[in-house]
Amino acid sequence: MNNDNQLKTAVGEWSRRTVPPEVCALAEAARQRHGGVGAVLFYGSCMRCGRFDEGIVDLYLLVDDYHRAFDSRLQALLNRLLPPNVFYLEVAHGGKTLRAKYAVLTLDDFARGARQWFHSYIWGRFAQPSGLVYARDGESAARVQEALADAVCSFLRRALPQAPERFTIRELWIRGLSLSYRCELRSENPAATARLFDAAPDYYEAVTHGSLQAMGLTMEALPNDGPPRYHLRISPWERKRNSLAWRLRQTQGKTLSVARLLKGLLTFENGVDYILWKIERHSGIRVESSPALSRFPLISLCVTFWRLFRKGAFR
C-alpha cells in the first residue's frame, strides 16, 4: 500500500461508517429537491454528538452541474459566483421533526476547494470527520474520498508552520482548527476546538500520519513520557509567510461569510431569523428580530451587521 492509499484508507474507514436513519431520511429529502446529485456528505456538530432531533443536521449535496441542480437560473448563477448555496429542510420521521441545513456544490468545485482554494471554507471543514451518506456510483464515491484526502493535506500543509516547535498531534489540530474558524464569522475558543479533536482522536491521529507520508514529510518523534511529541523542520521564513497568509485568509473569509449570509436571504425560509440565530450561536451576541428586518431585510441587516461588528460578533 503506498502512502497516498494509506491516507485515503484512513479517511474512507471513517466516511463509510453506518449513517443513522434520521440522516438518511434528511439526505433523501434534500436529494429529491435537486437534479444530478452525485453524492451527499454529513458532517458537523450533530455528527459529533449523535443527536439528530434537537439540532440542525449539516449536509453537503455534491452535484454535476448547477443548472441541472436548480430550476431557477438565478439560483444557479448565485451558486456559481459565490458557492455554496445553503438551504433549510424539515422532515417528519419517527414521530419527530428533523431539521437540516444543506449546501449545494458541484463535485468539481468541492474537489477544487479541498485541493486549491486559498480560503479554508472547504478544506477546513472536511479535514474533519465526515460521513458519505449517498454516492450515485463507485466513481462518485472515489472522487469524494480523494477530495476528502486532499482536504486533510491542504489543512495540515497550512497548519504545520503555525504549530509550536515541539507539538503533539492534538496541539497541531487545535491550532489549525482555531485558525480556520477565525476565517469565518465564528471564532471558536481553544476549549471548543479541543472538543473537536477529542470527539475523534483516532481519526486525527491516523489521517495526520497518512497525510504527512503522502506529502513526503517526516515528523521527528521526540522522547517524551506523555503523549508523543514531534518536531518538523520549518524555516523561519516559511513560518512568517504562512502567518501572513492566515491574516489575509481571515480578511477574505469574513468578507465572504457576510456575503454568503446575505445571499442566504434568497435561499432560506425565514432567512433573517436564521442569520441572527447563526450569529448568536457562534458569537454569543443576540440581536432581536423586528418587523423592519422582515420588511426591509437588506437595509436592516446592514445596520444590524454594523452593530454586531461593534459588539465583537465577528472577531
Alpha-carbon distance of 123 to 109, in angstroms, equals: 12
Element (H, E) at 188: none
Contacts of 210 (CB under 8 A, 6+ apart): 3, 6, 7, 8, 9, 10, 11, 149, 152
Other C-beta atoms within 10 Å of 186: how many?
A: 16
Going by C-alpha positions, the residue among 104, 123, 130 that lies closest to residue 42 is 130
What pLDDT does residue 40 have? 98
What's the pLDDT at 308? 60
Residue 259 near residue 279 (C-beta atoms within 8 A)? no
- Ranges of each domain in the chain: 3-237, 244-311
What's the number of CA atoms in the CB half-sphere (13 Å) around residue 287? 24
Q: Which three cell numbers stand for residue 190?
A: 481553544
Task: Please give the helix or strand (H or E) that residue 144 lies within, else none.
Answer: helix 138-159
Q: Is the dihedral of CA 183, 118, 211, 44 positive or negative?
A: positive
pLDDT at 134: 97
Q: Label residue 287 left, alpha or beta by phi (over 0 means left) and psi (-120 to 50 means alpha).
A: beta
- Could you tell me the three cell numbers for 232? 518538523
pLDDT number for residue 224? 78
Cell numbers representing residue 219 in the block: 515528523
C-alpha distances out from residue 129 to 126, 240, 241, Å: 7, 29, 28
CA distances from 133 to 14, 32, 38, 182 (A): 12, 14, 11, 29
Query: Residue 290 has what pLDDT?
Result: 59
| CA dist., res. 76 & res. 305, Å (int) | 27
Question: What was the pLDDT predicted at 49?
Answer: 83
**Residue burial 282-292, b: 16+ Cβ < 10 Å; e: rest:** bbeeebeeeee
Run means of pLDDT, 10 residues per run, the chain, 315 residues: 73 89 95 97 89 85 96 92 91 90 96 96 96 96 96 97 94 96 78 92 95 89 86 94 97 90 69 58 58 56 60 56
CATH of domain 3-237: 3.30.460.10
Residue 218 CB neighbour total at 10 angstroms: 11
Burial bucket for residue 129 (CB in 10 Å: 0-12, 13-18, 19+): buried
Q: What are 192's three cell numbers?
A: 471548543
Euclidean distance between CA atoms 106 and 144, whole angstroms: 11
